[in-house]
């Protein structure tokens, strides 16, 4: 699940300040800088959930929605999307607090807004670097909430009540 605003139930897994050294040729923050931090944030959550070493196996999705500028405070919020046998997929929401609007006044209450989202998959590995089954730590429960729009699975219809001999005998003809 991605977050459009900072979630109330958790802090950013990684929070940092975009610096001039992180810019691309256009002067905006380099996309690879965001990708590095998103990978680190996802790995931190995957490590905590798996309770041990993880490696990145795939970047499933990465979407850049808004440019990021020098002076932005960038928060990487993580949420477990899926836990498999040996892998964990993590959603990363990247939210920015713009402390220095270009040419503008510093806002009194600068709100955070989304600039990018990512989904990455990690594999829990042993010391031999081979995949190892995950036995999720209790943290998984907290970071793996059902999506608010998720529909509850319907209960199967109860079997029709069988008529007992007593109920049959009271039947009127």
Ligand X SMILES: CC(C)(COP(=O)(O)OP(=O)(O)OC[C@H]1O[C@@H](n2cnc3c(N)ncnc32)[C@H](O)[C@@H]1OP(=O)(O)O)[C@@H](O)C(=O)NCCC(=O)NCCS
DSSP state of 156: P
Geometric angle at alpha carbon 110, from 105 and 112, rounded to 5°: 140
Q: Binding to ligand X (CB under 6 A): which residues in 116-135?
A: 121, 123, 125, 129, 131
> Which stretches within the chain are classed as H helix?
31-50, 139-142, 165-169
Q: Which is nearer to ligand X, 93 or 119 (CB)?
A: 119
Least separation, in Å, of the C-beta of 5 and ligand X? 29
Q: Which is nearer to ligand X, 68 or 134 (CB)?
A: 134
- What is the length of the chain? 173
**52 part of the interface to ligand X, by CB under 6 A:** no
**139 part of the interface to ligand X, by CB under 6 A:** no
- 74-105: burial string, b at 16+ Cβ within 10 Å, e else: bbbbbbbbebeebbbbbbbbbbbbbeeeeeee
CA separation for the pair 38, 25 (Å, rounded):
21
CA separation for the pair 83, 31 (Å, rounded):
27
CA separation for the pair 131, 134 (Å, rounded):
9
**55 part of the interface to ligand X, by CB under 6 A:** yes
**56 part of the interface to ligand X, by CB under 6 A:** yes
Q: Which is nearer to ligand X, 72 or 79 (CB)?
A: 79
Least separation, in Å, of the C-beta of 60 and ligand X? 7
Q: Binding to ligand X (CB under 6 A): which residues in 77-106?
A: 84-87
Least separation, in Å, of the C-beta of 22 and ligand X? 21
**111 part of the interface to ligand X, by CB under 6 A:** no
Least separation, in Å, of the C-beta of 39 and ligand X? 8
**Chain positions contacting ligand X, by CB under 6 A:** 55-58, 84-87, 121, 123, 125, 129, 131
């Amino acid at each position: 699940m991605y977050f459009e605003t900072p979630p109330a139930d958790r802090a950013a897994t990684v929070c940092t300040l975009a610096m001039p050294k992180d810019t691309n040729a256009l002067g905006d923050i380099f996309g690879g800088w965001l990708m590095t931090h998103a990978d680190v944030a996802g790995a931190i959550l995957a490590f905590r959930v798996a309770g041990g070493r993880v490696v990145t196996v795939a970047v499933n999705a990465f979407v850049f929605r808004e440019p990021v500028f020098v002076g932005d405070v960038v928060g990487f919020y993580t949420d477990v999307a899926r836990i498999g046998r040996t892998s964990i997929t993590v959603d990363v929401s990247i939210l920015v607090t713009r402390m220095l609007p270009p040419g503008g006044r510093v806002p009194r209450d600068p709100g955070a807004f989304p600039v990018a989202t990512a989904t990455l998959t990690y594999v829990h590995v042993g010391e031999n670097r081979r995949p190892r089954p995950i036995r999720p730590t209790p943290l998984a429960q907290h970071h793996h909430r059902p999506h608010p729009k998720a529909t509850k699975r319907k209960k199967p219809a109860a079997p029709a009540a069988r008529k007992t001999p007593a109920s049959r005998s009271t039947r009127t003809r």
